[in-house]
Amino acid sequence: MNHLEQLLARRSSSNPTLIVTDGIFSMDGDIAPLRDMALLAERYGAAVYVDDAHGTGILGETGRGTLEHCHVESRVPYHMGTLSKAIGSAGGYLSGSAEFIAYLVNTCRAFTYTTAPTPGSAAAATAALRIIRQEPERRARLWRNRDRLAQGLRDLGFRLASSESPILPIIVGDPDRAMNFARTLLTLGVYAPAIRPPTVPASTSRIRLTITADHTDEHIDQALAALAQAGRALNMI
Ligand SMILES: Cc1ncc(COP(=O)(O)O)c(C=O)c1O
């Protein structure tokens, strides 16, 4: 946030400025400090744009995402997300003022020249939004599962990224070692992909675990047993 403030202070205030951020960061699983960003945007006459691909359906009292979680919905004018993650369909959404949406509809080439979502994916997304609103117990289960897995990983002694979400990366470092870890896990029945540069910075290759509401305690314990076996075989714990 100090760096952001320096950049905002340095720019010419006649330049319209957008602060663009993820809500939940996809590779570390941490949550953007949206209240601080909104405050800086207000202080320096900028606006915040949040890509909440990983927060929609996951965070917030009613599942509306990171903006709801951080209580900044009325202070963030541009909010986008995908329908492909928690919502389980395809496509995405962008919300903002009617003027902004009309501007995009008329100028956004990727939108203008792309076929509209199929009726099937639109219906699936609509149904998922209803489930997110009406079945908060799924979200409660997701966070309980997340805590069980995170605690298990800490108990095993893995080096974890500073995640605050259901994305739980185990930092391995070397890319070949991370691939080896992922392959070993697959032979033990756990699909957990290795993420390497350029997707993440050099020396931070990782196994990116993602937990869902539908995992059971038995699934999590089975995954932890496999992670323990693979981690020991590769001298990681
Ligand atoms: C932060 C972020 N934004 C947007 C997207 C795009 O989503 P989609 O694959 O549904 O286009 C992703 C997908 O992985 C993502 O991680």
- pLDDT per position as a tens digit, 137-165: 999 999 999 999 999 999 999 999 999 99
11, two tokens: 């720019």
Nearest to 28 by CA among 172, 157, 160: 160
Q: Please say whether the beta carbons of 201 and 180 come within 8 A.
A: no
What distance in angstroms lies between residue 82's CA and the mean position of ligand 1's atoms? 6
SS3 61: coil
The secondary structure of 126-141 as a DSSP string is HHHHHHHHH-HHHHHH
- pLDDT per position as a tens digit, 166-193: 999 999 999 999 999 999 999 999 999 9
Task: Give CA 92 to chain center in angstroms.
Answer: 14
pLDDT at 12 (0 to 100)? 87
Mean pLDDT along residues 221-232: 97
Q: Which domains, and CATH codes, for the chain? A: 2-134 (3.40.640.10), 136-233 (3.90.1150.10)
Q: Which residue in 69, 79, 85, 215 is the catalytic one?
A: 85
Does residue 219 have an active-site annotation?
Answer: no
Mean pLDDT along residues 214-232: 97
Ligand 1 binding residues, C-beta < 6 A:
22, 26, 51, 53, 82, 84, 92
Mean pLDDT along residues 52-73: 97
Does residue 26 have an active-site annotation?
Answer: yes
Mean pLDDT along residues 100-129: 94
Q: Please say whether the beta carbons of 59 and 100 come within 8 A.
A: no
Evaluate if pTM is beyond 0.85.
yes
User: Cα torsion at 185, 186, 192, 195 (round to 10°)?
Assistant: 90
Atom 15 of ligand 1, nearest CA residue:
53
> Does residue 82 surpass a pLDDT of 90?
yes
- pLDDT per position as a tens digit, 112-122: 888 999 999 99
Atom 2 of ligand 1, nearest CA residue:
53
Mean pLDDT along residues 17-34: 97
